Amino acid sequence: MKKAKTERAIHLGSIRNTPENGGTYLDVAADSHSGLFRSRNEDSFLYSLDASGRCLMAAVADGIGGNNNGDIAGNLALKMLLQGWRFFQIPKYNSSRAVETFLRETILRINSEIYMINTMYEGKGPMGTTIAIIIILENAVVTAHAGDSRVYRLRNDETLLRMTCDHNIVNDLVRNGEDVPQHIGETSYGRLLTQAIGPNAEVEPEISVEDRKSGDRYLLCSDGLTTHVCDTEIADTLKSEDSASSAVKTLLRLTLHRGARDNVTMISIYS
């Protein structure tokens, strides 16, 4: 077995949408590391252009369930997502609405598939995964997530927007207008997931549509990054690094320097 600190998969490079298809240049980089304490990496990621070569999808999955095959759940979720993406035809009009529908239906189908597998192996406990997805269209960006993997956007080198809100007990209390007991605010109980793919028969993914502007920079990540690196540091990195690969390298180096107690995975996209 490889040592945890050397178990990683790195994919650095660029994707150029062809001008004749009306696309734009996107610089994309991704990396996944098991961290310094975990014996295996249960995170997964993917990025891919659609069939027309004009739109990009990227996703991060963080397997949950400890020894209950969280890595299998994450890999399966992304494989099913990629399979659907390859056959999905984005219409010329109302494209963001069509992408919303695609993401919702695909996530629900993935959840049903993994949940069905769980029911066949009840003795081992349920496996599951978080997921965070971004689809970059010509004039809009669609995100979807379930769990605590995140999507960020930096605009105009100054404003960092967290495009997703972690699905956990504390945030659910806030959403419902309820008081958050002080004793659970920063505890592991307060961070328990309330949405994930696989463990339950039903999942409620959160999907949103935002405008897209030239120069926007995006980051998708598992909580292995945000456990050690705060939003301000993410913003500073996306501002200061002039390429997606440099941003990924800097954030990973910072995470490892601070102990990397969990698997860490991220995808950076510069547009």
Q: Are 45 and 62 in contact (CB under 8 A)?
A: no
Residue 121 pLDDT level (bands cut at 50, 70, 90) = confident
Relative orientation angle of helices 95-120 and 70-87, to the nearest 10 degrees: 140
| Proportion of the chain above pLDDT 90, given as a percent | 72
CB atoms within 10 A of CB 109: 13
- pLDDT of res. 192: 83
pLDDT of 115 over the 70 cut: yes
Nearest to 55 by CA among 83, 106, 96, 110: 96
- Considering the chain, what percentage of its residues have pLDDT values greater than 70? 83
**Is it the case that residue 187 has pLDDT exceeding 60?**
yes
DSSP, residue by residue, 33-46: E-TTT-SS--EEEE
Mean per-residue pLDDT, 147-171: 92
Mean pLDDT of 262-268: 96
Cα–Cα separations (whole angstroms), residue 97 to 103, 135, 212, 243: 10, 12, 15, 31
pLDDT for residue 67: 55
pLDDT tens, residue by residue, 197-255? 999 999 999 999 999 999 999 999 999 999 999 999 999 999 999 999 999 999 999 99
Q: Under a CB-based contact definition with an 8 Å cutoff, are residues 7 and 33 in contact? A: yes
37-51, 122-136, 176-190: segment of lowest average pLDDT: 176-190
CB count within 10 Å of CB 225 equals 26
Q: In which domain, by residue range, is 221 found?
A: 4-270
Averaged pLDDT for residues 179-203: 79
pLDDT of the residue at 52: 85
- Res. 25: pLDDT tops 70: yes
pLDDT of residue 51: 85
pTM score, whole prediction:
0.91
How far apart CA 124 and CA 64 sit, in angstroms, is 13
Task: Say which residue, 156 or 12, is predicted with more confidence.
Answer: 156
Can you give the pLDDT at residue 178?
65
Alpha helix (H) ranges present in the chain?
Answer: 70-87, 95-120, 169-175, 223-226, 231-240, 244-257
Q: Does 186 or 111 have the greater pLDDT score?
A: 111
Kindly state the average pLDDT of the residues 90-98: 94
Q: How many domains does the chain have?
A: 1
10: pLDDT strictly greater than 70: no
- Return the H-helix or E-strand segment holding 56: strand 56-64
In the sheet where 150-155 sits, what is the strand order? 8-16, 25-33, 264-270, 217-221, 150-155, 159-162
What CATH number should be reported for the domain holding residue 81?
Answer: 3.60.40.10
User: If you average pLDDT over residues 20-46, what whole number do you get?
Assistant: 86
**Mean pLDDT over the full length of the chain:** 88
Q: Mean pLDDT, to the nearest integer, of 93-108?
A: 97
Give helix 231-240 / helix 244-257 axis angle, nearest 10°.
140
Instruction: Decide if pLDDT at 176 tops 50.
Output: yes
Distance CA 192, CA 199 (A): 13
> Residue 5 — pLDDT band, cuts 50, 70, 90?
very low
For position 169, what pLDDT does the model report? 80
- Picking from 12-21, 56-65, 236-245, which range would have the lowest pLDDT averaged per residue? 12-21
Q: What is the rounded distance in angstroms from the CA atom of residue 122 to the CA atom of residue 118?
A: 6
Measured between alpha carbons, how far is 191 from 16 in angstroms, rounded to an integer? 38
Q: For residues 218 and 57, is the Cβ–Cβ distance under 8 A?
A: no
Residue with tokens 């890595």: 71
Strand order in the sheet with 56-64: 43-49, 56-64, 128-136, 140-146, 206-211
